[in-house]
Every structure is written in structure tokens, then in C-alpha cells.
Amino acid sequence: MIAELQWADLPRSMTVAEYLAWEAAQPTKHEYLNGVAYGMAGGTLAHNDLALNLYSLLRSRVRDRGCRVNVADAKVRVSAAGPYFYPDLVVSCDDRDLRAIDVISYPQLIVEVLSPSTAAFDRGDKFRYYRRIPTLTEYLLIDAEKVGIDRYAKTSGGKWELTTYPDDVADQDSPYLVLSGLDFACPLALIYDGVNLAREKNENAG
């Protein structure tokens, strides 16, 4: 998530090299876009729980396939010139990323957990930047206020197709999320297991 600019701590413009050197010494994470570093805002407990649930479900599957999965602290590079983002979860199956130390450059799956302050950016401009990554084949947006996931999948023709869970699946009583690029499927209920959703809580209180 991108927070408001921290101008007291940042120069107003940085080269990529300046950003990478500066951020490596910071106690908190900063994303980099159009020459500017943006401080990362803290997420809710639901946000954190959703990312960790999916990480737990994916970890053994992707490791068996020779891939790696990282959460939160893994920086993703769109290109050498930027932007640099911190998605909530990223999977890479590229040998170059398996040896990487500082940044993921060839992701196959990127996941963002939505919050009210960042949802429009995650759906819009951020996804447009992510689509520039040639290796990316699937992009997930997970709703942290209600049960719902948008999955964008890149077709063989280079187009991106949207599947909305649970709305676009046949069995809405027991919907499964499918990540075809990783040969992975799991019930939505497991992703939302133990997660206290803010919208449901507010509706029940009303």
C-alpha cells in the first residue's frame, strides 16, 4: 500500500540508484514510482491474515514446483528504471529470482489485498505497471472487507481475462479459487479462514 509522501524524510526526486541505496538503510519500506519514494502504510489485521493464509496454502505447492513465494517484504521490480513495489504476495518460478537477494524481477503471480485507500490504485495504475512485466501471468486482488477475489489471467494471445470469485463460478456454495499457472486450487473459505471482515462486522453491528 502506498501512503502519503513522507517529505520530511525524503528528497523530492531520486534516481533508481539513489532510491535503492537510500531505502536499504531505512527502518520502513518505501515504494518507488516516477522518481519519488512513497512510505508504506500499515495494514489491518484482516489484510495481514489474508496474505498469510494464502501464503500458507501456496508455500508447499510452489516449492514442489521449484518456485518461491514471498510476502510483504519482497520488493518487485517492474523494470530497471522502476517502478518498484511491495505486493502483499508474489510467486516467481524463474531461476534468476530463485537466486535473488534484494528484489524479485520475474514474477509469475502477484497478489494485492485491497484496502479502501489503495483499491483504486491497485485495480488501475498499479495493474497497468504490473502488466509490463513479461513473466507475469496472474494477478489477484483480494477483498479485505467481504469475501471476494478478482483474478486476472493472461491468455496465450496476451490479453487479460477477469474472473470474479465467487460471482463467476458455478458452485457459489463452495467456490474454489483456481490459479492455472501454478496448477493450484483451493476453497475461498480457506483463504478467509479466521479473518474478521470489517464490512461484515459493521453490517452486523447495524
Domain residue spans of the chain:
1-42, 43-205
Higher-confidence residue of 56 and 5: namely: 56
Which architecture characterizes domain 43-205 according to CATH?
Alpha-Beta Complex (3.90)
Task: Note whether 136 and 106 are within 8 A (CB).
Answer: no
Cβ contacts of residue 2 below 8 Å, gap of 6+?
A: 31, 33, 38, 39, 40, 41, 118, 121
Provide the pLDDT confidence category of residue 117 given band limits of 50, 70 and 90. confident
Rounded CA separation 92/182 (Å): 10
Dihedral sign from CA coordinates of 28, 124, 87, 92: negative
Provide the pLDDT confidence category of residue 169 given band limits of 50, 70 and 90. confident
What are 3's three cell numbers? Answer: 501512503
Q: What are 142-152's pLDDT values in tens digits?
A: 999 999 999 99
H helical segments located in 92-181: 95-98, 119-123, 125-130
Q: What is the pLDDT of residue 135?
A: 98
Provide the pLDDT confidence category of residue 51 given band limits of 50, 70 and 90. very high
Higher-confidence residue of 168 and 123: namely: 123
Share of the chain above pLDDT 70, in %: 89
Among 12, 68, 69, 77, which Cα is nearest to 38's? Answer: 12
The amino acid at residue 20 is L
pLDDT reading at 187 higher than 70:
yes
pTM beyond 0.85: yes
